[in-house]
Amino acid sequence: MGKKIRIGVFGAGRGHTMVSVLAGHPDAELTAVCDSWRPALEGCRKKAEEHGAKVELYQDFDRFLEHDMDAVVLANYANEHAPYAVRCLRSGRHVVSEVLCMQNMAEAVELIEAAEASGRVYTYAENYSYFRTTAEMRKIYRRGDIGEFQHGEGEYVHDCSSAWPQLTYGDRDHWRNLTAAPFYCTHSVGPVMTVTGLRPVKVAGFENPNLNNRKHGKLCGDGCMLCVQFENGATGKFLPWNNGWRRSQEAIWYCIYGTNGQMETDRFGEGADMLHLWIQDKGEDRYYKPEFADTGELAKSVSGHGGSDFYTMQYFLDAILGREGGENAIDVYTAVDMTMVGVLGYRSILEGSAPIPCPDLRIKANRDAVRNDRLCADPRAEGHGPACSWGDPEIPDSVYEETRRQQQR
């Protein structure tokens, strides 16, 4: 066995799952975890010790970055990934970033150029691309079984109202309360892109008013719809997060139409674990539960997000080590392509749902046009705009006070 990759995790809440994968992984040496909240750090220490791993704990990122490690997992707040990724890459570390990879187009350029200059591996942990069904859909499409991609849909409708106290702690300024409706988009659009390998060229966004979200302290509209055209002329419709909509079971659903067939996950029951496949010229019509690529004990022990969390770490390690499996990792360009659907969908919504071009930032000549575009809903950002196109609601302090009370029960 070769030298293990020494890895640190930044963000002990979401990062707890990454700790559970890396602490017991034969190719990784989990060495450090950083978070501002001590109880979360201690939880990660305990999880690491279950696998015989000893980790250093940090509450200061600068000190964490001085730790002797080869790679960093970014599992901090979703609107803060790009600046930390840039710092890690410039320090010579490989990076795997949780969703989302940036919150505006200026950050996209900074991230891409930092990755290019570093020569290090950057991958994007869009775990919904690694469900048993979405991974199977990729294999089927790449074999050519259903022909050329014509239309795709992805839905992530997750009513988080009952969990809002635990997610936001009653903090008015928590990122989940401040982001625009299209921002958290890659759970819906990402799998369609990793299945087809095609990038978006145009997006138009449409937003609901804020009727439910305001009850829990969230500023943006209850939901939105993103309409996309892809580089081959195919179309797409995506529902990103939409946690102001009410439904009994969260919707994680994908559908791909090709010139020779169609494939679609379930909406209810076992949901994204089950696949419907129809191939016209073969007369094939199947409904089945695909197998995961890895049937080892570590992969089977990771249950988070339908078992997909294992693969975000596995393919990151494969990419660093230059071995088979690394081709399944989502690189910096694809990460930016996925995320810009929401970033530019937000701009579209603010411009009356006008279609907005999606520049290919692999091409250096396209970068200067958006290098200083910092439009986003984050009120702390230089180019911040409104969270809701219908007007940011006035939310009284009592809403956040009640959320804090619920969180402390």
pLDDT in tens, 3-33: 899 999 999 999 999 999 999 999 999 999 9
- The b/e string for 23-38 (b: 16+ C-beta within 10 A; e otherwise) is bbbebbbbbbbbbeee
Range 73-102 average pLDDT: 99
pLDDT at position 390, please? 97
pLDDT at position 272, please? 93
Closest to 55 (Cα-Cα) out of 26, 39, 32, 25: 32
Q: How confident is the model at residue 327 (pLDDT cuts 50, 70, 90)?
A: very high
pLDDT in tens, 333-353: 999 999 999 999 999 999 999
Range 89-101 average pLDDT: 99
Task: Answer whether 178's CB lies under 8 Å from 379's CB.
Answer: yes
For the four alpha carbons of 42, 48, 50 and 52, in that order, the dihedral sign comes to negative
pLDDT at 303 over 90: no
Which tokens belong to 245? 């909509």
Task: Answer whether 256's CB lies under 8 Å from 246's CB.
Answer: no
Peptide bond before residue 41 is cis, with ω within 30 degrees of 0: no
d(C-alpha 393, C-alpha 219), whole Å? 6
DSSP code, position 256: E
d(C-alpha 66, C-alpha 364), whole Å? 32
pLDDT at position 25, please? 96
58 forms beta bridges with: 34
Q: How confident is the model at residue 297 (pLDDT cuts 50, 70, 90)?
A: confident
pLDDT at 131 over 60: yes
Q: Per-domain residue ranges for the chain?
A: 5-127, 128-293+331-384
11: left (phi over 0), alpha (psi -120 to 50) or beta: left
pLDDT at position 76, please? 98
DSSP 3-state assignment of 33? strand
pLDDT at 358 over 90: yes
DSSP code, position 100: P
d(C-alpha 31, C-alpha 33), whole Å? 7
Structural Rg of the chain based on CA atoms: 21
pLDDT in tens, 183-195: 999 999 999 999 9
Domain 128-293+331-384 fold is: Dihydrodipicolinate Reductase; domain 2 (3.30.360)
pTM (whole model) above 0.95: yes
Task: Answer whether 19's CB lies under 8 Å from 29's CB.
Answer: no
pLDDT in tens, 227-251: 999 999 999 999 999 999 998 878 8
For the four alpha carbons of 153, 76, 383 and 371, in that order, the dihedral sign comes to negative
pLDDT in tens, 366-400: 999 999 999 999 999 999 999 999 999 999 999 99
d(C-alpha 163, C-alpha 370), whole Å? 36
Which tokens belong to 138? 């990729």
pLDDT at 130 over 80: yes
User: What is the pLDDT of the chain when averaged over all its residues?
Assistant: 97
Task: Answer whether 378's CB lies under 8 Å from 178's CB.
Answer: yes
Write down the residue that tokens 């992969």 correspond to. Answer: 299
Report the Cα–Cα distance between both ends of the chain, in Å, rounded: 49
d(C-alpha 244, C-alpha 206), whole Å? 15
pLDDT at 409 over 90: no
In sequence order, what are the residues at sequence separation of 6 or more whose Cβ sits closer than 8 angstroms to the Cβ of residue 221?
181, 207, 208, 209, 210, 213, 244, 388, 389, 390
pLDDT at 1 over 70: no
Closest to 40 (Cα-Cα) out of 10, 74, 12: 12
In sequence order, what are the residues at sequence separation of 6 or more whose Cβ sits closer than 8 angstroms to the Cβ of residue 297?
none
Write down the residue that tokens 């150029």 correspond to. Answer: 113
Q: What CATH class has 5-127? A: alpha beta
Higher pLDDT: 304 or 90? It is: 90
Burial zone of 1 (CB within 10 Å; 0-12 exposed, 13-18 middle, 19+ buried)? exposed
pLDDT at position 249, please? 78
Q: How confident is the model at residue 168 (pLDDT cuts 50, 70, 90)?
A: very high
Percent of the chain with pLDDT over 90: 92
pLDDT at 332 over 90: yes
